[in-house]
Structure 1
Amino acid sequence: MRRSRWFPAVVAATLTATLTATLAGCAAGAGAGRPTATATGGASAAPGSASARPTPAATATRSPDPVAAYADARLANMTLRQEVASLFILHGPGTDGAALRAFADRYGLGGLILMGDNIPATPAALAAQTAAACASDPELPLLIGTDEEGGDVTRLPWDGSPGAEVLRGRPPQATKDAFAARAALLEQAGVNVNFGTVADVTADSSSFIFGRVLGTDPASAAARVAASVTGERGRVLSTIKHFPGHGETDADSHLTVPTAPVDAARWAAQDAPPFRAGIDAGAELVMFGHLVYSGVDARPASLSPAWHRILADDLGFHGVTITDDMRMLQDTGLPQYRDAGANAVQALAAGNTMILMVQGSGTDPAAMIDAVVAAVVRGAIPASTIDADARAVLQLRRSLAPQR
């Protein structure tokens, strides 16, 4: 995810009872005991097709769980375009909660990504903003996400907990404590998804990602990734990134598509352990990086059915998958990634449940949604895939609402 604005970490402000009373909508139901959506992806297409993906067992049998029942009922009344739109998490500018709500409602989005320009001066102001953004449909809160890693990538200026450069030199308990405190700040501010756990691993100090990794070897990274997810549990939905791992190359995926001649055996030994640990610890989302490991697939992982099958079959993850910021592909300047709509089609066909994008100048959300709808109509993406993805997102969002 791009770092549009960096804030130095400062000592966390004490949140008052007024802030707590302000919270509603997006933050409601985020406490311990919240059910977790486990479905992603739809029925597999024919072998070798562009839209082939693993079929989680959870999509085959309906659960009596009230969250799943609500999602099924809601899905039955959605049009194809509404289903597709719900798979997008996009960025609306500014700190006006009503304007952000109008932006999400205009396109029927599943969520919003908060960047530096969305963060007001105080925790209370952010809580009011996110509550206003979710006010349209309290029974189905938007996914409100941000990248609160700490250290180099800090969105909340009042997050005083240490980031990766400090945490990787301390015992895993310190990582758990830091992410628990971080998650508490996010929950109090109405942010319900943290794109904050970097599961990449490298000891190369020249690597773009080095300052953000929680460990410089597979074992130490795995221990701290698991601790991060455990610390966030019950407060925010945890995301581990950037699958299959950014540590094999020193290139910056905001500027190019990093490529390394990594094969499946190397990946399993070096890069997989932190992701496996985060999944075993209960991470609800996995973010796919725009990274090529040419020994596995010549396509970026975010556009690769092969990597989505590996995540499901080898690591056992059947939760929600999401792309890294799709604008990053366009920003490479490579002609094959110039069209935002075509990129979104490829990403969903590959197996992502959701598309994340911080739109650039001239990017039209409606056109991206229309491109995916057209792909479904012409058969490039099975309708059953979109149904399953929309159901998984509905379950995730419903799990954040107050349960009666």
Structure 2
Amino acid sequence: MLRPRRALAVAAAAIVGLSAVTVSVTASAESSAVAATARSPQAWAGSAHAGIGDPRDRAAEMVSEMSTAEQAASIVMGHIPSTDASALHAYMAQGLGGFILMGANIPADEAALPDVTAALTVDPELPPLVAIDQEGGIVSRLANDTYPASTTLKDRPVADTSAAFAARAALVAKAGVTVNFGTVADVTSDPASFIHGRALGTDPRSSGDRVAAATDAQEQVVASTLKHFPGHGAAPGDSHHAIPTTAESLADWRARDAVPFVEGIDAGASLLMFGHLAYTAVDAAPASLSPRWHEIARDELGFDGVIVTDDLGMLQSSGIPEYADPVANAVSAVIAGSDLVLMIAGSTPDTAGDIVAGITAAVDAGALPADRLADAATRVMALRLESASADVGWLPCPDCAPVE
């Protein structure tokens, strides 16, 4: 869960000290660079939601005053490939709850990225969740992230993971990002696995320790995300093109693949991303569409934050006919227990609106219980309120003196 934070510049300054001790001299210098740029003339814009008490209570009140269509829009995290401020602003005017930045949203000059993220806000008092995949290493949207990534961190002291992800969180927050889809909690020792180069460990304990460290470090600055539940390690195949499947038992999963997720949840992760993979001994359906896996996450692991799908476009890319309809996939995910539906691959500027209409129609038809939608919207709204009232939302302030 997002923690109360101090200003970003203060967090970045703390990172410098941490990096100097725990990471290499090079990483320490890079962290210093982040701190230096973070001390630019900027100021927290403030929020009408500051001091609201329990965000979940305020969120529930707000959601109760929303129409079904407004609730549906609030649980959609969309994407269009553009850096045009007008186009982005118009897209988000649909009332979407979030936006994910991909490569096509990153300006050639990354210093201009705050202008892109600022354009995503329609209501200054209730900014959307702005997400990014910034794992470091091979999955990096920001080229100026030169901090250690999983390929080296898995063989280094756990403290190095803390330092690297603290610096990474400060870097993305400075750009206006509030959610990092950056913590890979999958565990595998198989070099042939597509997730091997992104995993933070090769066994449950080493992975769990580093996942917890990465989560704790990021939660000081942005909302962190554990992915890809329930874990790709046991399921061969790449979910970008297929539905990886394993016959691993639930008992074996608890002993191995669950461990990093448990550690990350205990460390306070704000979001849990469900993968498009199937553990047939538990449920033949992909976890992202499985009520049973959502039940396990909530009731067994005790996760009470926002459950987000992996990109629903990946289900379409599997080529399986029953997953060819992105709207049906989104509705099924919400019915199963997801709170936030993410759509990237294969989407058009109209896709988000189609999903909103589909979710609304499902509620009207009784296929999706209204209280399930309200619960999802409340969880997402609570996270938005937390982000809006924390020291994360920076806006340009030419008249402000640099933070020393």
SS in 2 for 1:368: helix
> Retained in 2: the 8 A contact 1:19–1:188?
no
| Bigger shift: residues 341-350 or 374-383 | 374-383
- Give, in angstroms, the shift of residue 377 of structure 1: 1.1
3-state secondary structure, aligned to 1:295 = coil
TM-score by length of 1: 0.84
User: Residue 112 of structure 1 corresponds to which residue in structure 2?
Assistant: 99
* Residue 153 (1) aligns with residue 142 (2): no
Question: Match for residue 96 of structure 1?
Answer: 84
Question: Which of 185, 189, 203 in structure 2 is aligned with 1:203?
Answer: 189
Q: Which amino acid aligns with 1:121?
A: A
Given the alignment, which residue of 214, 227, 237 partners 2:213?
227
Report if the CA contact (8 A) 1:23-1:128 is conserved. no
Rounded to whole Å, the distance in 2 between the matches of 1:364 and 1:292 is 26
2:364 is aligned with 1:377: yes
Distance in 2 between residues matched to 1:276 and 1:114, nearest whole Å? 27
Aligned to 2:255: 269
Distance between the aligned counterparts of 2:242 and 2:369, measured in 1?
A: 31
Aligned counterpart, 1:330? 316
Who is 2:397 aligned against?
none
Where does residue 340 of structure 2 map in the other structure? 354
In the alignment, does 2:377 pair up with 1:398?
no
1:257 and 2:253 matched: no
Closer/same/farther in 2, CA of residues 307 and 402 from structure 1, 3 Å limit? closer
Structure 2 portions without partners, runs of 5+:
1-26, 392-404
Query: Which residue among 151, 156, 160 is the counterpart of 1:165?
Result: 151
**Residue in structure 2 matched with residue 56 of structure 1 by the alignment:** none
Using the TM superposition, name which of 219-228 and 11-20 deviates more: 11-20
Opposite residue 387 of structure 2, the aligned amino acid is L
CA-CA distance at 1:93 after TM superposition: 1.6
Q: In the alignment, what sits opposite 2:67?
A: 79
- Contact 2:134 2:140 survives alignment (8 Å): yes
Whether the 8 Å contact between 2:77 and 2:96 is mirrored in structure 1 is yes
Is 2:314–2:345's contact at 8 Å kept on the other side of the alignment? no
Task: Tell me what 1:46 maps to.
Answer: none
Q: Supply the AA of the counterpart residue of 1:113.
A: I
* Residue 393 of structure 1: how far off its partner (Å): 1.1
Identity %: 48
Letter in 1 for 2:65: N
Give the Å deviation of 1:375: 1.1
Change (3 A) 1:403 1:191: closer
> Partner of 2:293 in structure 1?
307
SS of the residue aligned with 1:317? coil
Give, in angstroms, the shift of residue 122 of structure 1.
3.6
1:65 maps to which residue? 53
Alpha-carbon separation, structure 1, partners of 2:298 and 2:34: 41
Relative to structure 1, the CA distance from residue 225 to residue 15 in structure 2 (aligned partners, 3 Å threshold; closer, same or farther) is closer
Q: Report the Cα offset of residue 194 of structure 1.
A: 0.3
The CA deviation string for residues 103-129 of structure 1, in whole angstroms up to 9 with x for no partner, is: 111x21000000011111344311122
Q: Do the aligned residues in 2 keep the contact of 1:96 with 1:129 (CA within 8 Å)? A: yes
Q: Which amino acid is 2:73 matched to?
A: A
1:243 matched residue in structure 2: 229
The equivalent residue for 1:6 is none
SS of equivalent residue, structure 1 residue 401: helix
Question: 1:45 aligns to what?
Answer: none
The one of 294, 313, 319 aligned to 2:305: 319
| Compared CA separation, residues 403 and 229, structure 1 to 2 (3 A) | closer
**Aligned residue identity for 1:184:** A
Aligned positions, number: 360
Q: Deviation of residue 227 (structure 1)?
A: 0.5
Residue 74 of structure 1 and its aligned partner are, at CA, apart by: 2.1
The CA distance in 2 between the partners of 1:14 and 1:241, in whole Å, is 26
- Distance 1:156-1:403 versus aligned 2 partners, 3 A rule: closer
Could you tell me whether the CA contact under 8 Å between 1:95 and 1:119 is conserved in 2? yes
User: How far 1:102 sits from its partner (Å)?
Assistant: 1.4
Whether 1:137 aligns to 2:123 is yes
* Aligned twin of 1:121: 108
Q: Which residue is equivalent to 1:58?
A: none
Distance 1:345 1:18, change over 3 A: closer
1:19/1:350 Cα in 2 relative to 1: closer, same or farther (>3 Å)?
A: same
List gaps (5 residues or longer) in structure 1: 1-8, 36-63
Asked if the contact 2:245–2:279 (Cα under 8 Å) also holds between the matched residues in 1, the reply is yes
How well do the aligned residues superpose, as a CA RMSD in angstroms? 2.3
Query: CA, structure 1 residues 17+168, in 2 after alignment: closer, same or farther (shift >3 Å)?
Result: closer
**1:356-380: CA deviations, max 9, x gaps?**
1104155622222111111111111
Secondary structure of the residue aligned to 1:365 is: helix
Counterpart contact for 2:236–2:245, Cα < 8 Å: no
CA distance in 2, matches of 1:103, 1:264: 42
CA–CA separation in structure 2 for the residues paired with 1:144 and 1:403: 14
SS, match of residue 399 in structure 1: helix
Distance in 2, matches of 1:331 and 1:205, equals 24
8 Å Cα contact 2:75-2:97 kept in structure 1: yes
Structure 2 distance, partners of 1:20, 1:341, is 43
Residue 99 (structure 1) shift: 2.2
